[in-house]
Amino acid sequence: MQRRDTVALLPRRRERSLAGNATESGRSVTSKITSILMTFTEGSEHSLTEIARLAGLPVSTAHRLTAELASRRLLERTTDGQYRAGLPLRTIGGTDAAPPSVTDRAPYVLEDLAAVTKCRARLGVLRELEVAYIQKEPGPRPATSFSAAATLPLHATALGRVLLAFSPQRTVEMAILRGLRQYTPHTVTAPVRLRRALGVTRLTRVAVAKWQLEPGVCGVAVPVFGSGGDVLAAIELSVRDLGTDLQPILGPLSIAARSLSRELAGVSAIPTQPTATEEPRHLVAVGH
């Protein structure tokens, strides 16, 4: 008797479960994901609550699927916590007539570069006399995002030296007037030495920073060019020993920068970069 009662209760329990989650009953995962993606039309942005409402899904389900779509870069998280269509979706949809932005492409470039070189890869842009940057450590963790808190000094990093070298002279002088803070005993704090290093970088399009910001860590950076030959960003790899590690990483680093430059500006707008032969040794002697 007790068994019959238990069995009799099962359909009711199932009914209550479905009734409390009616929007999900009978829907496949594909249907739920499609409903989420269909909410992003004509460049729209939505909060998680709006996505759940428009897709007809519980917030918990929308959160789980949206997070997975964002991890695959099919969706992007904006600075104010909204979601929008990611670059792959915009490309498929044909809504991206303009070239992709640095923010769109940088994580992919850094992931490939870190995987090939097994080095920490960074991409930086000039922002108010500092370097705003994202980075990718070797391993499975994704690249970081641009953040107001993630900044580096211009004079003590290879990233910053590339950005300064291709900036107007007024920007260089403002950075010097702001003060060249000493981070390690090796940090360049004399304006004449910094100007000399920037001159070398302008000629060779490679910057090095040996033990300038972190003891025992060297940075090697190259520019990323945009339309008209302007420098939009810099890409940097961190190594331990410039003597043994510099040459092996220059090839992948230059390829990554040139590939990103092509995507951002088109092949015809990219200045020709010199072949790395004896220049890195000259850089090590003068640039750090």
For the stretch 227-258, pLDDT in tens is 788 899 999 999 999 999 999 999 999 999 99
Encoded tokens for 124: 């930086």
Encoded tokens for 46: 């939505």
CATH (domain of 258):
3.30.450.40
Domain boundary among 71, 93, 115: 93
Domain that holds residue 88: 2-93
Query: How many residues does this entry show for the chain?
Result: 288
Assess whether 109 and 237 both reside in one domain: yes
What is d(CA 175, CA 194) in angstroms, rounded to the nearest whole number?
A: 11
CATH (domain of 26):
1.10.10.10
Residue with tokens 């992931």: 111
Assess whether 53 and 107 both reside in one domain: no
Assess whether 62 and 149 both reside in one domain: no
Assess whether 119 and 257 both reside in one domain: yes
What pLDDT, on the 0 to 100 scale, is given for residue 122? 97
Assess whether 180 and 61 both reside in one domain: no
What pLDDT, on the 0 to 100 scale, is given for residue 21? 42
Assess whether 89 and 110 both reside in one domain: no
Assess whether 144 and 25 both reside in one domain: no
pLDDT tens per residue, the chain (288 residues)? 444 444 444 444 433 333 334 445 567 888 889 888 888 865 678 899 989 888 889 999 999 999 989 888 888 887 778 888 887 777 665 544 456 678 878 898 999 999 999 999 999 999 999 999 999 999 988 889 888 889 999 999 999 999 999 999 999 999 999 999 999 999 999 999 999 999 999 999 999 999 999 999 999 999 999 878 889 999 999 999 999 999 999 999 999 999 899 888 754 333 333 333 333 433 443 456
Asked if 129 contacts 152 with a C-beta cutoff of 8 angstroms, the reply is no
Assess whether 201 and 117 both reside in one domain: yes
Domain boundary among 41, 68, 93: 93
Asked if 253 contacts 220 with a C-beta cutoff of 8 angstroms, the reply is yes
What is d(CA 170, CA 149) in angstroms, rounded to the nearest whole number?
A: 25
Strand partners, 85: 75
What pLDDT, on the 0 to 100 scale, is given for residue 161? 97
Which are the contacts of 254, defined by CB distance < 8 A and separation ≥ 6? Answer: 222, 273, 276
What pLDDT, on the 0 to 100 scale, is given for residue 78? 78
Assess whether 89 and 114 both reside in one domain: no
Encoded tokens for 31: 């249907």
Tell me the three-class secondary structure of 60-99, residue by residue: HHHHHHHHHHHHCCCEEECCCCCEEECHHHHHHHCCCCCC
Structural domain count, the chain: 2
What pLDDT, on the 0 to 100 scale, is given for residue 273? 39
